[in-house]
Structure 1
Amino acid sequence: MPLKMLLLILFSICPVTLFADQQERPNIVVILADDFGVGDIQAHYPNNKIATPYLDRLVREGMSFTDAHSGSAVCTPTRYGLLTGRYSWRTRLQEWVVAAYEPPLIAEERLTLPGLLKKQGYQTACIGKWHLGWNWPGPQTSQMMEKKNGQWKLEWDFTKPINGGPTERGFDYYFGVDLPNLPPFTFIENNHVETQPTARFELDASEGIVLPKNFVGAPAAPGWRMQKILPEITSRAVRYIKDQSEQQSPFFLYFSMTSPHEPVVPSKPFRGKSGIAPIADFVMETDWSAGQIIEAIDKAGIADNTVVIFTADNGHSHYTGWNDLIKAGHLPSGPYRGHKGDIWEGGHRVPLVVRWPKQIGAGSSSQQMVCLTDLLATSAEIAGAELPPDGAEDSISFLPALQGKPNQAARQSLVSHSNHGEFAYRDGPWKLVFKMSGKNLQQSRGKPTIPELFNLDTDISEAHNLAKQRPQKVAQMTADFKRLIEQGSSRAGQKATNDTHVRFDTIQKVRWAPPLND
């Protein structure tokens, strides 16, 4: 038999080669804005006052989810949930975020989204803000401390590798900052400091507003300018997309933005552009940055085979110019109550827009309830991977919703968590909030929480507490929530273990709860 004919026969009976398999798996790009409110995309709320032309275009080309939520109302816990598919309150961290020089929150052996995709042949990169802890080298080890940022004045050796970061949690490549408002003030590439922080941080009012004044004197790279952070990570992400588009294997990019989180430092082209306030300028620069990523994908000719996901880690911040926005007629939380840090909808309801040409209807929307923990299971299904029996405890795929298909296994419940460690449990339209009893966290520690019940179908602003009128509903939801906590998982049929004893009926006494074996 002639060789040519033999090859034709082989290809006809074995049409899926490894290369074809890799090519058919789409690239996945997650753009995570920082403190970007559910109301901050103008296409979603046309009466709002900040122009977002790049994200408006993404809305026109993709699907918008109207009931999407971050895993927490603050930074670190949401990032943990997005990358692990597990609610962060199942770890020892029961409130707030990982502070300066604290150790990794993601355990070394835990399944992560980039780690799962790597096994499917993906190249993986994280560019931008990490904020999930590292094992910093020094005379002492990184510790979980009750005192917030209690380690920033200690001595650390920035010449040595930093362990426990992105490249040891599933990413092939990393470039960015731990976070823009905590030391050390320098870029990190992979597991080392790019420029040694031999200078000391000084306040410069010309940089912007809400600068990290509490860290004056902290280690900083010589000439460190906070206005350059967002443009630099944007440029690096664009370059990564271009480089990867020329390779054969698919790639996963987690572009973790540093804006519009404080410090509010819009770069020169955006200063004053909104005509409202610096925070509005920074939102516009955030829109621009996301737009550069999308345009890089389009220019590389890979748009049809790339899933683009834009979302945010929590609601809009209330201390970076909130009143200026409200005065101008811009509502960062839309019609919802609250803002970043809150247990109310404005704290954790976020924009979620997904573009996948020829797979998702342009300009479409979905009312499916989604949590950012679901990105792991959804990405796994897109890549043709099965979730292992262990891990991804709170991740439920929403791929059927993207495809406009019914899904009996769709998410029906949701757990939300506030900056102060308050919980809320969703059951369809019903939301049961467990509020602090005191005026502040310190007054509430160790004391019982107060349950409040809301029907979001009829009361989207959470103005009417129905707990006294519907005691049976409160009892049923409380029992269901307790069961979800105790089984360690939201996935049907999966049984797992939390890292600590989780309480929702009282406010925790400490930020880092003791491990179960203590």
Structure 2
Amino acid sequence: MSRNLFWYLLFCLSTALLPAAEQKQPNIVVILADDFGVGDIQAHYPKNKIPTPYLDRLVQQGMSFTDAHSGSAVCTPTRYGILTGRYAWRTRLQEWVIAAYEPPLIAEQRLTYPGLLKSQGYATACIGKWHLGWNWPGPQRSQMTEKKNGQWKLTWDFTRPIQGGPVDRGFDYYFGVDLPNLPPFTFIENDRVLVEPTEKFQPDPAEGIVLPKAFTGAPSAPGWRMQKILPELTRRAVKYIEDRAEQKQPFFLYFSMTSPHEPVVPSPPFRGKSGIAPVADFVMETDWSAGQVIEAIDKAGLSDDTIVIFTADNGHSHYTGWNDLIKAGHLPSGPYRGHKGDVWEGGHRVPLVVRWPGKIEADSSSDQMVCLTDLLATSADLVGAKLPAEGAEDSLSFSSALRGTANPQPRTTLVNHSNFGEFAYRDGPWKLVYKLGGRNLEKSRGKPTIAELYNLEADIAEEQNLAPSRPEVVKRMTADLQALIDRGSSRPDQQSRNDGKITFKSTQKLRWAPAND
């Protein structure tokens, strides 16, 4: 063996044996749009009418997943699933979202996405919408209440630190809003309000549509403007990337956008730009915002070292201009039934695009079934970390799909949850739905749910209920869903425990399920 070959082989061996902390780890940037439909990226649905040039470019540069789903059809539960790798219906929250001033949904000791990456040497930041609860200081505690937004008129102390938020759940840094349409109307940085909300909120019709008029008089920062929220969040996310580019430490940025969720408040450069409706303008601004963050990565020379993930928390909203979009020929849910809030595909099927130049094939697609709870396990795989035995109960890695190789244990089943607490269970092409048994949620409480069965391979629009003709499939899938609930986990090697008493054969009587003792 020549001397040169000997030293080359020795170098290769020593590099392979270096501790993970000494090897270059990829940065990870997750961009989460809010109420952005599966049909809203024009590159995926060229006949749709809203231009999305920045996301179209991302599609050309990365891999698109055609069978990707949020764990829930609404905000809070999906965010919980992303950050914990666990279905949110395993908590006590069984419907809707975290209301104003309700406590943290993520338990203090629970494994989180940023917490796992932090243990691997990452700097971690959350910029944008939180909507997972805080322990607000005041003469009373933040509480789980059955009455929606039953605490917004109570007195809270905005001069003191707010506990239980992002910086207490794995993030080194946070800047954003709890959410744009609930009080208090002010930015929060780390664990304090940035500007004390000393004024009373007065909605300004000139700002946009679907304004939070019900919270007129709620605490607001002086001069608070809804139109400035997304531009400021975008600016902060871009600056974070620019600052991190000067550091050697890998970083994780969770950019949780506030658009195109209501209030629909496109800023002046985007007003009327779509020629369709304000919500279409806001979709265009959402595309621009995501684009600024991606361009910041590229301009900083971080492209090859950064995994970019773009997705959405649920389907497009049906109450912010849906009819205007349909009339214009834009289908926010593509060919799928339903929209935000629904147990149907349009409620929880979401866009998912992943870019990592040189590692993930450009302009490619995968039909691998994916849930957003899987981002945690997948990222762990990609950075060489191992999931601990406890936590991340419903997180299954799809890193093999990203690499274009066979996955020995691909996800084949999936649970989705609606705004009203309805369950859907996927097993391959089969989808079993347990929907409300009454005219609405309140009329359904405590009553048996109704089972419907669909074959998505033959009926993507969920038009033909096969439950009457295939009772054996309904029976098998019902038993499998019950077993998955009872086991407390989707991970094949793990048994865990739900926080509350979970039922799907009847509609829950309470928004917050009784705790498991």
Conserved 8 A contact 1:23-1:249? no
In 1, Cα distance between equivalents of 2:279 and 2:491: 39
How far the C-alpha of 1:23 sits from its partner, in A, is: 5.0
In 2, Cα distance between equivalents of 1:19 and 1:159: 44
- SS of 2:378's partner is helix
What pairs with 1:77-116 in structure 2 (closer than 5 Å)?
Answer: 77-116=77-116
Q: Does the C-alpha gap of structure 1 residues 20 and 505 become closer, same or farther in structure 2, counting only changes over 3 Å?
A: closer
Q: Deviations over 1:385-420 (max 9, x none)?
A: 000000000000000000111112110000000000
Q: Does the C-alpha gap of structure 1 residues 18 and 128 become closer, same or farther in structure 2, counting only changes over 3 Å?
A: farther
1:160 paired residue number: 160
How far the C-alpha of 1:19 sits from its partner, in A, is: 9.1
- SS of 1:42's partner is coil
Letter in 2 for 1:305: D
1:3 paired residue number: none
Matched, 1:512 2:512: yes
In 2, Cα distance between equivalents of 1:491 and 1:12: 35
Conserved 8 A contact 1:55-1:291? yes
In 1, Cα distance between equivalents of 2:17 and 2:266: 48
Q: Deviations over 1:180-230 (max 9, x none)?
A: 000000000000000000011001001000000000000000000000000
Q: Does the C-alpha gap of structure 1 residues 345 and 9 become closer, same or farther in structure 2, counting only changes over 3 Å?
A: closer
In 2, Cα distance between equivalents of 1:403 and 1:9: 26
How far the C-alpha of 1:150 sits from its partner, in A, is: 0.3
What pairs with 1:293-304 in structure 2 (closer than 5 Å)?
Answer: 293-304=293-304
What pairs with 1:25-424 in structure 2 (closer than 5 Å)?
Answer: 25-424=25-424
Identity %: 75
- SS of 1:480's partner is helix
Letter in 1 for 2:444: S
Q: Deviations over 1:308-332 (max 9, x none)?
A: 0000000000000000000000000
Letter in 1 for 2:448: P
Conserved 8 A contact 1:360-1:403? yes
Q: Deviations over 1:75-134 (max 9, x none)?
A: 000000000000000000000000000000000000000000000000000000000000
2:452 paired residue number: 452
In 2, Cα distance between equivalents of 1:20 and 1:503: 43
In 2, Cα distance between equivalents of 1:23 and 1:55: 31
- SS of 1:179's partner is coil
Letter in 2 for 1:50: I
How far the C-alpha of 1:143 sits from its partner, in A, is: 0.2
- SS of 2:307's partner is strand
How far the C-alpha of 1:383 sits from its partner, in A, is: 1.1
In 2, Cα distance between equivalents of 1:101 and 1:290: 29
* Superposition RMSD in Å: 1.4
- SS of 1:24's partner is coil
Conserved 8 A contact 2:423-2:504? yes
Letter in 1 for 2:351: P
Q: Does the C-alpha gap of structure 1 residues 10 and 272 become closer, same or farther in structure 2, counting only changes over 3 Å?
A: same
- SS of 2:257's partner is strand
How far the C-alpha of 1:493 sits from its partner, in A, is: 1.9
Q: Does the C-alpha gap of structure 1 residues 466 and 91 become closer, same or farther in structure 2, counting only changes over 3 Å?
A: same
Q: Does the C-alpha gap of structure 1 residues 471 and 179 become closer, same or farther in structure 2, counting only changes over 3 Å?
A: same
Letter in 2 for 1:44: H
| Residue segments in structure 2 that go unaligned for 5+ positions in a row | 1-6
How far the C-alpha of 1:514 sits from its partner, in A, is: 1.1
1:487 paired residue number: 487
Conserved 8 A contact 2:422-2:434? yes
- SS of 1:308's partner is strand
In 1, Cα distance between equivalents of 2:493 and 2:30: 29
Letter in 1 for 2:262: E
Q: Deviations over 1:448-488 (max 9, x none)?
A: 00000000000000000000110000000000000000000
In 1, Cα distance between equivalents of 2:22 and 2:294: 22
1:4 paired residue number: none
Conserved 8 A contact 2:21-2:120? no
In 2, Cα distance between equivalents of 1:508 and 1:226: 35
Conserved 8 A contact 1:22-1:121? no
- SS of 1:419's partner is coil
Conserved 8 A contact 1:23-1:250? no
Letter in 2 for 1:259: S
Q: Deviations over 1:3-56 (max 9, x none)?
A: xxxx99997764369798455210000000000000000000000000000000
Conserved 8 A contact 1:159-1:196? yes
In 2, Cα distance between equivalents of 1:300 and 1:20: 24
2:3 paired residue number: none
Letter in 2 for 1:54: Y
Letter in 1 for 2:269: P
In 2, Cα distance between equivalents of 1:79 and 1:232: 21
